[in-house]
Amino acid sequence: MNIVFLNGNYMPIQEAKISPLDRGFLFGDGIYEVIPVYSDITVALMYHINRMNDGFKAIGLKVNWSENQWEALCKKLIEKNGGGTLGIYLQVSRGADTNRAHGFPSNVEPTMFAMTFAIPIPKTPNLETAKSFALKSIEDLRWKRCQIKSTALLGNVLHFQESHDAGAQEALLYNNKQQLTEASAANVFVIKNGVIATPLISNQILPGITRRLVIDIVANYGTSAVEERIVTMKEVNDADEIWITSSTKGLMPVTQLDDKPVGSGKVGQVWLEVATLYFKYKLSY
């Protein structure tokens, strides 16, 4: 595998040898991963490696790295970039051919691109000071393979921008049956009368790692299990609380949807309880 690094002193971009004929550039023909790091330690690295391997398999990309190789790469990136709190970005494309052709090339080495970037330092969850999100609901017009963490993110980018153009910070997406799918760069949870629900894993959503962790944490330490099922837009609009989850944002409350308050319009009590459990989990990692 050809590896290209970016960041810090590790290897400046000028030295990066990425061909303009790389299929990552030409076709978005690749898989990526974002792994959060707190106090120098990756969170749930194995889940991220497994999801990457699922992605490679789904697009017929042969990458036979062992867990140890991925772990060593992440360790090196953390060390060379000052450690602490950061995000690791890994991307593997099918590689660079000598011309532009849609079919998979033969005898081409995959290209890996790796960098780190800043993510917010986790703070003790607090009802008064929590940052909350305003979402805009938009029909999900992406493709039917949203479970693949593909570098081809134009559909997500357009939805994200549409929400920003409308004055919101994220898009809450629903399918043509008026069922919640996810956000453009996060998963979504809906809470009513203390019951937490989130859409089932399917080809309509990315199987988020933070989503998985929140479900596991609630099952282990919470008072009731998260329901993984179809969530209708009627439920979304009637919700007491809405949350979004991602590796970079963590678990964030949503207090506005389509310019209307969610529930009381304030950050909710259930969020506080689960976010506190998630915060402790991250620190104990």
Residues catalogued as catalytic? 149
Pattern 178-197, binding to ligand PDD, x per CB under 6 A?
----x--xxx----------
Q: Which of 151, 27, 21, 38 is nearest to 90 (CA)?
A: 151
Separation between Cα atoms, residue 204 and residue 176, nearest integer Å: 11
Q: Least distance from C-beta 120 to ligand PDD, angstroms?
A: 12
Q: Would you tell me the crossing angle of helices 45-58 and 67-80 to the nearest 10 degrees? A: 120
Q: Give the nearer residue to ligand PDD in terms of CB position, either 36 or 268.
A: 36
Tokens of 233: 């837009």
* Contacting range for ligand PDD; rule: CB under 6 A; set: 59-67, 114-122, 202-210, 275-283: 202-210
Q: Give the nearer residue to ligand PDD in terms of CB position, either 208 or 268.
A: 208
Q: Give the nearer residue to ligand PDD in terms of CB position, either 104 or 279.
A: 279
Helices (H) and strands (E) in the chain, counts: 7, 14
206 binds ligand PDD (CB under 6 A): yes
21 conformational bin, left if phi > 0, alpha if psi -120 to 50, beta if neither: alpha
Separation between Cα atoms, residue 131 and residue 252, nearest integer Å: 7
* Contacting range for ligand PDD; rule: CB under 6 A; set: 64-72, 115-123, 130-138, 207-215: 207-215
Residues 6+ apart with CB under 8 A from 91: 24, 30, 31, 32, 33, 112, 113, 114, 151
Separation between Cα atoms, residue 243 and residue 269, nearest integer Å: 12
Among 138, 191, 209, 275, binds ligand PDD (CB under 6 A): 209
Q: Give the nearer residue to ligand PDD in terms of CB position, either 156 or 256.
A: 156
Among 24, 125, 208, 268, binds ligand PDD (CB under 6 A): 208
259 conformational bin, left if phi > 0, alpha if psi -120 to 50, beta if neither: left
Q: Give the nearer residue to ligand PDD in terms of CB position, either 63 or 201.
A: 201
Q: Least distance from C-beta 85 to ligand PDD, angstroms?
A: 15
42 binds ligand PDD (CB under 6 A): no
Q: Which of 271, 22, 145 is nearest to 263 (CA)?
A: 271
Tokens of 202: 């399917």
Among 156, 179, 204, 256, binds ligand PDD (CB under 6 A): 156
Restricted to residues 218-257, the positions that interact with ligand PDD (CB under 6 A) are 245-248
- Would you tell me which residues interact with ligand PDD (CB under 6 A)? 34, 156, 182, 185-187, 206, 208-211, 245-248
